[in-house]
Amino acid sequence: MAAGFIKSAKDCKTQNLATCKGLSQRLHIAYPRGGGGRVPKSGHYPHEYPQGGYPHPQKIDELYDTVTLSKLYPNPKLKKLLNVDLQLSSHKIKPAGGGRAYVNFKNEEARDKALTVLHKYKWGKCVMSAEIATPVQDPLLRKQEQREKKSLNSVEMKLPIAERIEKSVTPYASLSYEEQLRKKEKIAQDILRKYSKELLYANPELHEFIKFHQKRRNGLICEFDPIVPAPVTENYRNKCEFTIGMNPETESACVGFRLASYKQGCMAVAPVGHLRHLPLAMKDLVQAFEKYVQQSSYSPFSPLTHEGVWRQLTVRTTRNNDLLVVVVIHPQSMLQEELIELKNGVRYLFTDGGAKDLKVSSLYFQQYAQRERGVDPEYELLYGEEYITETILGRKFRVSPDAFVQVNTAAGEVLYETVGKLADLDKNSNMLDICCGTGTIGICLADHCHHVYGIEMVKKAVEDAKVNAEENGLTNITVFEGKAEDIMLTVLNQCGEDKNSVGIVDPPRAGLHKNVVTALRKYEKMKRIVYVSCDPNNARGNFVSLGRPESRTYNGECFIPVKAVPVDLFPHTQHFELIILFERWDSNKWRRIMDGNPLPEDEEYFKRIPQLPQVGHNNAADIETIEIPAADQTNDDTTSEVNCEEEVGPITKKPRSDKD
């Protein structure tokens, strides 16, 4: 596509362009940054392209113009000028800031016509001019150049690719498992300390409660259990998505993991056969498919050139030794006959070819070209069953290609048991399973409560959850389809006023939508929330929002953290799950506890509260600081830290009076 923009006379001068007249505006035609069109194949590595950026502009399929405007001529007027008055058939107009806008055309003919018409065109008080811009350097190339300058002599870049991928994917693999657990436990504690300071800033009304716990728990805001280890630490992953690309050492096709993301300037793929967390059957399958790709007439897909066919290999396993495989390709401009031939070849590989001994249970095929927003590519079953089956805590679950199941099945069972203990369910309570996926948590805990209400936005997951509940003989589970923030109030209204409700929250890394938090706050029957976070550093915003003071936005008493338990689901990596039990704030209850006069039902909790350390002992000095892994997304709710060193009185149990 072609594009143009109008610039000020000053800017035009710096670009070595002719000066503008009238309102000092001009039209500038440029090619799009990456993704505007396909770049001719020159290999799979960006260093093979000219240093200036993309290959010659005329070889890019789509061209575009960019136009920059003054405030006198906003976008609608420009669109009318181009498409109605001048009949230039622009494809898209995108503002570029500073009074500029990009105007896209579908082909060179339309672009050249616009170039001729708009050059020196008088529009109101201004005279426009137009020309083709120089190519913009691909962001991948720019990232690579920056990285090469910084790490030209770095130790890591000199390591063999096998060691580099091990350090990238399983950075704790060289540590003993005890040391791994110690580091993760410290990270969890540091996150909770940051959270306690943020909550204190957000809700000063909780000042005494927060200080009470901080002084007795080394800066922590709540009771903290030691990290729960994973029962299985080797070969534990039941799902992996392997990238198909090029191995820079062998310069051949490779099925494995990227050394870094494309955004970080990397397309190299490294082998994975030596990684400790992958099961043997998965490694054997990857090796067999890699050999098949290397012998294929099609090359791996390149995110830089957008050429090539093989994109990804997804493998799922169960403890029953079932294997589900998804082969993902980019169809490019394949004819139907070519696609059928490719599918038949893949099917033969796993049924009668070199991978037949692996006994694949389900083989799927997926065409993934340019993704449309809100539309996921369909899965086509080439061979075998529609799903495989996994057993979790005695319950059977369907595992389809995109179903969510904890990647460490044995550790997932420990996670669900821990959630159940913290939730403290009984036959008079309803369980609200938010972001329930295929219903694993709710189904595993359904026997301990009156009814389970699940909320899930993915239609296929909802269908699987309903089938899983039925096949396990459970009639006290209802699953609703929709975004939690949209249907939360509707679901809560069905929970019944005569039952207490306990929320189980296991959201994706981005956390809960603000509307979900406000709905939970507003529903008075919700007394406890168990929040399961795979990225607790990023979830701190949700934690703080649950505890903000009552307001127009946050109706209802806040939730305060009572207990936190880290669970290790990902041995040899820096990741873990953090479970936090939140309870609805009850000022009378906590006044009694802090005064040493708890009610009978709070006696056990009271006994577990540590005594206040001796005066003059600085707990902070004994706290080891460990770097917290960066969150995937910016935490908008993170607040600034405040001083937390004020004294709170000692805790001693007082005799209970008749008035109490």
Say if residues 417 and 489 touch (Cβ distance below 8 Å).
no
| Residue-level length of the chain | 660
Would you say residue 148 lies in a domain?
Answer: no
Instruction: Please tell me whether residues 246 and 213 are part of one structural domain.
Output: no
Query: How many Å apart are CA 346 and CA 292, to the nearest integer?
Result: 9
Helix segments in 402-510, DSSP class H: 409-423, 440-445, 459-471, 484-493
DSSP letter at 592 equals: H
Would you say residue 165 lies in a domain?
Answer: no
Please report which confidence band the pLDDT of residue 137 belongs to, taking 50, 70 and 90 as the band edges. low
Query: How many Å apart are CA 439 and CA 431, to the nearest integer?
Result: 12
Please report which confidence band the pLDDT of residue 524 belongs to, taking 50, 70 and 90 as the band edges. confident
Over residues 278-304, mean pLDDT:
96
Please report which confidence band the pLDDT of residue 641 belongs to, taking 50, 70 and 90 as the band edges. very low
Active-site residue list: 534
Would you say residue 402 lies in a domain?
Answer: no
Candidate from 548-562, 586-600, 644-658 with smallest mean pLDDT:
644-658
Would you say residue 359 lies in a domain?
Answer: yes
Q: How far from the centroid of its chain's Cα atoms is residue 153's Cα? A: 33
Instruction: Please tell me whether residues 277 and 227 are part of one structural domain.
Output: no
Query: How many Å apart are CA 8 and CA 541, to the nearest integer?
Result: 43
Say if residues 495 and 525 touch (Cβ distance below 8 Å).
yes
Q: Could you please report the per-residue DSSP string of 284-326?
A: HHHHHHHHHHHHSSSPBP-TTT---SEEEEEEEE-TT--EEEE
3-class DSSP state of 544: helix
3-class DSSP state of 14: helix
The predicted pLDDT at position 74 comes to 53
Check whether 506 is labelled as a binding-site residue: yes
Instruction: Please tell me whether residues 540 and 511 are part of one structural domain.
Output: yes
Total structural domains in the chain?
Answer: 3
Say if residues 327 and 364 touch (Cβ distance below 8 Å).
yes
Would you say residue 399 lies in a domain?
Answer: no
Instruction: Please tell me whether residues 62 and 38 are part of one structural domain.
Output: yes
pLDDT at 505 over 60: yes
Instruction: Please tell me whether residues 125 and 263 are part of one structural domain.
Output: no
Check whether 406 is labelled as a binding-site residue: yes
CATH number, residue 513: 3.40.50.150
pLDDT at 358 over 90: yes
Query: How many Å apart are CA 42 and CA 48, to the nearest integer?
Result: 7
Beta strands in 496-554 (DSSP E): 500-505, 526-533
Instruction: Please tell me whether residues 290 and 190 are part of one structural domain.
Output: no
DSSP letter at 125 equals: T
Q: What is the CA radius of gyration of the chain?
A: 30
Query: How many Å apart are CA 568 and CA 574, to the nearest integer?
Result: 9
Candidate from 120-129, 259-268, 416-425, 528-537 with smallest mean pLDDT:
259-268
Query: How many Å apart are CA 67 and CA 103, to the nearest integer?
Result: 6
Instruction: Please tell me whether residues 305 and 425 are part of one structural domain.
Output: no
Could you identify the residue written with the tokens 């006290």?
A: 476
pLDDT at 657 over 80: no
Over residues 296-315, mean pLDDT:
94
Say which residue, 1 or 456, is predicted with more confidence: 456
pLDDT at 22 over 50: no
pLDDT at 636 over 50: no
Helix segments in 331-474, DSSP class H: 336-351, 409-423, 440-445, 459-471
Query: How many Å apart are CA 530 and CA 400, to the nearest integer?
Result: 27
Instruction: Please tell me whether residues 433 and 507 are part of one structural domain.
Output: yes
pLDDT at 68 over 70: no
Please report which confidence band the pLDDT of residue 499 belongs to, taking 50, 70 and 90 as the band edges. confident
Residues 6+ apart with CB under 8 A from 251: none
pLDDT at 272 over 80: yes
Per-residue tokens: 325:
């495989």
**What pTM does this model have?**
0.74
Beta strands in 69-137 (DSSP E): 92-97, 100-104, 122-123, 126-127
Would you say residue 58 lies in a domain?
Answer: yes
Dihedral Cα 413, 419, 423, 425, nearest 10 deg: -10
Instruction: Please tell me whether residues 303 and 437 are part of one structural domain.
Output: no
Query: How many Å apart are CA 25 and CA 67, to the nearest integer?
Result: 9
Element (H, E) at 584: strand 577-584
Q: Could you please report the per-residue DSSP string of 23-63?
A: TT--EEEBPPSTTSSPPPP--S-GGGS-TTSSS-GGGSS--
Neighbours of 482 (CB within 10 A): 15
Candidate from 122-126, 355-359, 438-442, 571-575 with smallest mean pLDDT:
122-126
The predicted pLDDT at position 115 comes to 80
CATH number, residue 116: 3.30.70
Average pLDDT, the chain: 80
Would you say residue 397 lies in a domain?
Answer: no
**Among candidate residues 78, 102, 137, the one where a domain is terminated:** 137
Query: How many Å apart are CA 613 and CA 292, to the nearest integer?
Result: 65
CATH number, residue 299: 2.40.50.1070
Neighbours of 305 (CB within 10 A): 20
**Among candidate residues 337, 364, 392, the one where a domain is terminated:** 392
Query: pLDDT tens, 7-16?
Result: 333 333 333 3
Please report which confidence band the pLDDT of residue 627 belongs to, taking 50, 70 and 90 as the band edges. low
**Among candidate residues 337, 359, 392, the one where a domain is terminated:** 392
Instruction: Please tell me whether residues 496 and 576 are part of one structural domain.
Output: yes
Instruction: Please tell me whether residues 462 and 595 are part of one structural domain.
Output: yes
Nearest to 511 by CA among 491, 538, 482: 538
The percentage of residues in the chain with a pLDDT greater than 70, rounded to a whole number, is 74
Q: Where in the sequence is the domain holding 346, given as residue range(s)?
A: 239-392
DSSP letter at 116 equals: H
Per-residue tokens: 172:
């704790």
Query: How many Å apart are CA 656 and CA 650, to the nearest integer?
Result: 18
Could you identify the residue written with the tokens 């001796």?
A: 614
The percentage of residues in the chain with a pLDDT greater than 90, rounded to a whole number, is 55
Query: How many Å apart are CA 176 and CA 174, to the nearest integer?
Result: 7
Instruction: Please tell me whether residues 585 and 644 are part of one structural domain.
Output: yes
Would you say residue 617 lies in a domain?
Answer: no
Query: How many Å apart are CA 300 and CA 44, to the nearest integer?
Result: 9
Query: pLDDT tens, 86-129?
Result: 888 777 776 666 556 667 777 778 888 888 887 778 877 777 76
The predicted pLDDT at position 658 comes to 40
Nearest to 191 by CA among 625, 640, 568: 625
The predicted pLDDT at position 614 comes to 66
* Torsion region of 134: left, alpha or beta (phi above 0 gives left; psi -120 to 50 gives alpha): beta
